[in-house]
Amino acid sequence: MKKGSGSRKSNFDMLDSTDSPIMPTRYAHGSSKLIRSIEKTFYPIIGLIAALIVFAILDITDVISKYNILPDRTYDIIITFVAAILLAVVVYLLYSLIKSRKKLHHWADIFERNSIKAGITISMSTTSKEHVLRALSETIEGIGEPLREYLSSSPNRYKNLIDVQIDKDTVFDILIDNDHLTNRTPSNQVSSITLSSKSTSTSIPDNEQTSKEISDLVESTRRYGAIAARVISGRINQETVKSFQAALRKYISSTRNKVALALIIGEGIDEEADNLSKLRINGIDYFILIEKTM
């Protein structure tokens, strides 16, 4: 078990527990309360708008001046007062919507992060780089299908995505991005398909199919973003996270590519490393640590 796992306090005063089985229920109730609070704010807005409409009708029909119900000055003050209250309520509603949007985005981020983490952990039978790639193809919706097609098209195709060197000091255990994927794929990879007929069989090279698999994965990666992973033996500590983050910053700076997912896979996770991984980094959508004991 990872040290210090269990819970942490979020910016929104809710307990974020990555291991809690009741987390979805708790956040569902929180979302329901947010919607209910926004709904209540609409009632006074509707009442104020209705009051303005009534005053406008009375003004148009000259009822107030005809029957001398209110002096003009008093009538104008009432209209101004109602409009000011309506403006204040609308501003409060806007503030509530912005705050609620931030909360919902935060919760969606937690769900997505935990979904990726759980999916990869379950899909990996070992922590070998090939099995990590297979787990990514089965878990990441954005590139899953084209990555599966790419890996299944050749037994050694996965080698194009592992041990990718960025410079003399930076090597990623796994890197899936459109730049290095295109550059590292051999142009002479050819397989064959045998077509049976009544009297003859023909062996047809599928260069076009291979090219389509590459282009599909490149396009999916361009839309989704790059995926980078580091696989270590032993526990993930703070220095491991800092080193990988530095490598990712160098990669982002040199390629201008967005990193959609950054992973470190190890046999355990230190609390300091877990806290450090949750800090936002420009150019990286999700930075996730995965514990996989064998």
Judge whether 3 lies within some domain. no
Is 132 part of any domain? yes
CB contact burial 22-36 (16+ within 10 A = b; e otherwise): ebeeebeeeeeebee
Of 70, 97, 119, the residue that ends a domain is: 119
* Final residue before a domain boundary, out of 72, 88, 119: 119
Q: H or E element: which one contains 249?
A: helix 238-255
Beta bridge partners of 205: 192
Give the separation between CA 273 and CA 290, rounded to whole angstroms.
Answer: 11
Examine the domain organization and report whether 177 and 232 are in the same domain. Answer: yes
Same domain, 87 and 190: no
Q: Provide the residue-wise pLDDT of the chain in tens; the chain has 294 residues.
A: 444 444 444 443 444 444 455 555 666 667 777 778 778 888 888 888 888 888 788 777 777 666 666 677 777 788 888 888 888 888 888 888 888 888 777 777 788 888 888 888 888 888 888 999 999 999 888 888 889 888 888 778 888 888 888 888 888 999 998 887 766 544 344 333 222 333 333 333 444 446 778 888 888 888 999 999 999 988 999 999 999 999 999 999 888 889 999 999 999 899 999 888 888 888 899 999 998 876
> 69 and 210 share a domain?
no
4 found inside a domain: no
**pLDDT at residue 195, as a whole number:** 28
Structural domain of 216: 125-291
**Co-location of 201 and 76 in the same domain:** no
User: Same structural domain for residues 38 and 148?
Assistant: no
**107 shares its domain with 252:** no
Q: Is residue 1 part of a domain?
A: no
Query: Tell me, what's the pLDDT at 227?
Result: 93
- Whole-number Å distance between alpha carbons of 262 and 230: 8
* Domain count of the fold of the chain: 2
Same domain flag for 75 and 13: yes
